[in-house]
Chain A
Amino acid sequence: SFELTQPPSVSVSPGQTASITCSEDKLGYKYVSWYQQKPGQSPVLVIYGDSKRPSGIPERFSGSNSGNTATLTISGTQTMDEADYYCQAWDSRTGVFGGGTKLTVL
């Protein structure tokens, strides 16, 4: 079955670069999107089509997807970026979310 695997947690110091991965066999052949969710809030789309940013999303958010792994990169991470991040892709006419990664900025 199609499953997206994310690390449960990632830590980064303010101002540094954070990388969150999402893995599945041949994921590079699919489009991946990323959502940010802060406590008590609804998810917000931050990346779609592997690397595109919706309007209003800061340039420090970027994405890539190749081989078996998609990566969300946050450059110059800010404390406001602390949140859960979920990748999403499609397979066999159904959507799938990854298990989520808690990004801690400290």
Chain B
Amino acid sequence: QITLKESGPTLVKPTQTLTLTCTFSGFSLSTSGVGVGWIRQPPGKALEWLTLIFWDDDKRYSPSLKSRLTITKDTSKNQVVLTMTNMDPADTATYYCAHRGQYGDYVFGYWGQGTLVTVSS
């Protein structure tokens, strides 16, 4: 059974760096073809794709946010970490991590519950 759970601060100040951790179970990020991605959703708005890391450490980033995002993995801990620099109130959103696997391409078959991050002074 694949599960993912996001953790991190619920409130950050403008200009600060956000660090979120995705802890997962039921799969290994060292298995060929597997990936973990991050997606966010501002309150009442649409999903926005952020980044994805693959089992071989290949990384993909949203072009509009690439300069602010970093994704890393710790295979031994079954964790993926997202950092986003220079946070702004417009970054207030629910942040989801999700599993990419048997459905191919960059399809997310399993999602975490999401964590709401508010950016405010």
Contact = CB atoms under 8 A, between A and B. Distances in A.
A64 to B, nearest CB: 17
A44 to B, nearest CB: 8
A54 B109 contact: yes
A43 B47 contact: yes
B61 to A, nearest CB: 7
A46 B40 CA distance: 19
Contacts, number: 65
The size class of the interface chain B forms with chain A is: 20 to 34
Contacts of A49: 103-105, 107
What size tier do the contact residues of chain A reach? 20 to 34
Contacts of B105: 31, 33, 48-49, 90
Interface of A: 31, 33, 35, 37, 42-45, 48-49, 52, 54, 86, 88, 90, 92-100
